[in-house]
């Protein structure tokens, strides 16, 4: 079984105006552009009147080597999302309003191909290998994964801040 080390867990939350479709595409494209393969494990909507609640789960994986893989989990919760009309540069456009929350979890996966699991002795050697031979490499990969997640969160916050500042409710 692969060993998984949770490096970071955090969230962003915004109540207000945003463009859900654009934001969804923005995050997806950012992950793809950074070399991740993204799978949408869950997408569910509950409609109540003109509002809807959305629940999304993404799993993004990036191969670093034969031994290491970056894994980022995104859990979206959107409550009370409604379509609204806003005026932007003298044009009427349709955006969304509601409470948007995304939880991010960054995990460094070691031995994801299960090469060191066939025998208890191999498993013991894997522990020795990680603790004494590649300790600095593990630390470097943890730092790199954290940097990538920090950048993704910063990009998300910037996108939401820019989107919120340029819409005025009609």
What is the per-residue pLDDT across 125-163, written as a single tens digit (0 to 9) for each?
Answer: 667 767 777 788 889 999 999 999 999 999 999 999 875
φ, ψ at 34 (rounded to 5°): -95, 5
Instruction: Retrieve residue 120's tokens.
Output: 């208890």
Total Cβ atoms within 10 A of residue 71: 20
CA 17 to chain centre: 21
Mean pLDDT of 67-83: 96
3-class secondary-structure state, position 53:
strand
- pLDDT, tens digit, for every residue of 16-62? 999 999 999 999 999 999 999 999 999 999 999 999 999 999 999 99
Residue 133 exposed, middle or buried by CB count within 10 Å (0-12, 13-18, 19+): exposed
φ, ψ at 9 (rounded to 5°): -145, 125
- pLDDT, tens digit, for every residue of 92-134? 889 999 999 999 999 999 886 666 676 676 677 667 767 777 7
> Structural domain boundaries of the chain?
3-169
The residue assigned the tokens 């393969």 is 37
Q: pTM for the complete prediction?
A: 0.84
């Amino acid at each position: 079984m692969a060993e998984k080390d949770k490096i970071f867990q955090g969230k962003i939350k915004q109540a207000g105006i945003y463009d859900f479709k654009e934001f969804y595409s923005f995050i997806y494209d950012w992950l793809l552009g950074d070399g991740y393969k993204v799978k949408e494990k869950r997408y569910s909507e509950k409609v109540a009147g003109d509002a809807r609640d959305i629940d999304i789960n993404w799993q993004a994986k990036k191969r670093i080597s034969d031994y290491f893989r970056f894994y980022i989990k995104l859990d979206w919760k959107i409550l009370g999302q409604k379509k609204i009309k806003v005026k932007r540069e003298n044009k009427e456009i349709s955006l969304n309003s509601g409470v948007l929350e995304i939880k991010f979890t960054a995990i460094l996966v070691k031995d994801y191909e299960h090469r060191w699991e066939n025998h208890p002795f191999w498993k013991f050697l894997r522990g020795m290998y990680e603790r004494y031979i590649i300790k600095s490499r593990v630390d470097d990969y943890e730092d790199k994964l954290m940097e990538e997640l920090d950048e993704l969160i910063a990009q998300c916050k910037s996108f939401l801040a820019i989107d919120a500042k340029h819409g005025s409710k009609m």
